[in-house]
A = this chain, B = another copy of it.
Amino acid sequence: MRRCTSSWAGRLERVVNHPASEPRLASDDPLALSGVHGLADLDPRTFRAAAHRVADLMADYLESVEDYPVFPAIEPGSIRPLFPATPPEGPTAIAEILADYEALIPPNATHWQHPGFLAYFGTTASGPGILGEMLTAALGQNPMLWRTSPIGTELEGVVVDWLRQGLGLPSAFDGLLTDSASTSTMIALAAAREAAGLDAAAEGLAGRPDLAGGVRVYASAEAHSSIEKACMTLGLGRASLGKIPVNSRFELEPTALAAAISADRSAGRVPLAIVATIGTTSSTSIDPVAEIAEIAGREGLWLHVDAAYAGAVALLPARRAPFSGWELADSIVVNPHKWLFTPLDASLLLTRRMELLRAAFSLQPEYLRTLDRQAPVRDYSEYQPQLGRRFRALKLWILLRTFGLEGLRARIDHHLALAAGFAEWVDADPDWERLAPVPFSTVCFRFRPAARARRPADPAVDSSLDQLNAAIMAGVNRSGEVFLSHTRLAGRFTIRLAVGNLRTEERHVARAWALLRSEAARLGAA
């Protein structure tokens, strides 16, 4: 199972000591040192040969990723000493660097591409997405302005609209691609500040009598940490986030939300925005978006929908029920780099109110002004906190065309089915219990031997079950065959199994189940 790393220790000393790069290669080998001489880039022959060598390394990796343990059996701090403490003064031949790459990099990676990666939200850097990243790197575009990348700018408009249509959202939604859901949500909340008439971009939040009572943002107690972090970044503060209680299915309680807004208004606080989640990170629960949208409309608050993970499911018209009401949102985030098989990074931020994003982030210094074009120009950097931008549209264009919407739907549907199957196994086994509904591809569960389950609830029992389940998960992860992560639901340690990798087949999910049961039997008996 484990990939042989025998070459690693042998290479180690040489790597650590940065020896002068000896000409280990025939002088006509383009990957030898001669390729980096001069004052320019790698010579073209060297680059071409190196790119082909790397293409094979990439293909080899993807073909053999299952031979690695998903998570390496190493301790923090064990990797850094494998590299020299001081930077290299002289050049090193590409051939040597790539040999070191093979010895040092993949053996110390957490293999998100591994079909047994069932932790967090499994993601895949798919083949078409990787091809897109290759071309993106070579083209060196920076679509901060139309002028600095016309194709980067206009193709972004194309794929944003393709995705919008695929997700079944109305044409009133425009948007852009950002690096992460954290950034997308932060942009949405910055726009909410402007929508509330605070003129925060210009005036800030400090020293304002109109905000003497403070400001408020609302999300469920199960909402993602990125919302709280956005509040920190934006100067709203963690204290501004009203965490609304959830029901037994971990869904936001609309009545509690309405009550919180009302109480805050009475206390002189200024509500700004509500974040509803479709597919929370712990349990993938679904907030009642339509009801929340009604409250947001009545209260005049910005509604942002976090569907970073689950949004991909909206590509399937038959599976759109959980998304009911999201078309009423002011903004929505769906991450192609989560469950749409796109390499990091690509987050889609859709909004009906693009002009408010611009109000929150637009600045046009002279040195960025475009002088010689008459038509109205979209400069995407006016809509986000960063100036520089990657050409993320290219990989999405390649990916959407390679698979087509049909191909994406079939793959997502397959993941939904794999998770449903796993949930059935859990449900059918009296020694295990499911701890949340499974609306998407993530199953929350724990080991709870039937003998214990028959006893009345007892905190001491729950605490020992927590320890037992943490030990089961750790044991399963040590196998290297699969990788699971955990959360805490209603106070209980909860194992999560999330399907999102294109290489995951039923046999991997079945293997996870077998490992869980055998580890539970071993530990439960001990």
Contacts and interface: CB of A to CB of B under 8 A. Distances in A.
A47 B65 CA distance: 14
Interface in A197-234: 200-208, 211-215, 224-226, 228-234
A481 B485 CA distance: 54
Contacts of A157: 80
B44 A363 contact: no
Given A155-B83, A214-B206, A487 B88 contact: no
A139 B137 CA distance: 15
A302 to B, nearest CB: 16
B54 A41 contact: no
Interface stretch (A121-129, A433-441, A513-521): A121-129
B238 A202 contact: yes
Interface in A499-525: 502-503, 505
A258 interface: no
Interface residues of A, number: 180
A224 B44 CA distance: 36
A353 interface: no
Contact of A112 (B101, B141, B202, B282): B141
A488 interface: yes
Contacts of A354: none
Contact of A51 (B108, B130, B206, B404): B130
A180 B54 contact: no
A225 B387 contact: yes
A377 B72 CA distance: 15
A140 B154 contact: no
Given A50-B131, A125-B138, A109 B204 contact: no
22 contacts: A39-B414, A40-B505, A48-B55, A48-B59, A55-B134, A71-B147, A78-B150, A87-B400, A91-B407, A94-B402, A109-B141, A120-B148, A129-B137, A141-B344, A179-B386, A200-B235, A205-B205, A206-B270, A207-B211, A229-B387, A344-B388, A367-B487
Given A83-B158, A193-B235, A228-B363, 7 more contacts: A57-B138, A90-B404, A112-B139, A112-B140, A113-B139, A182-B388, A200-B232
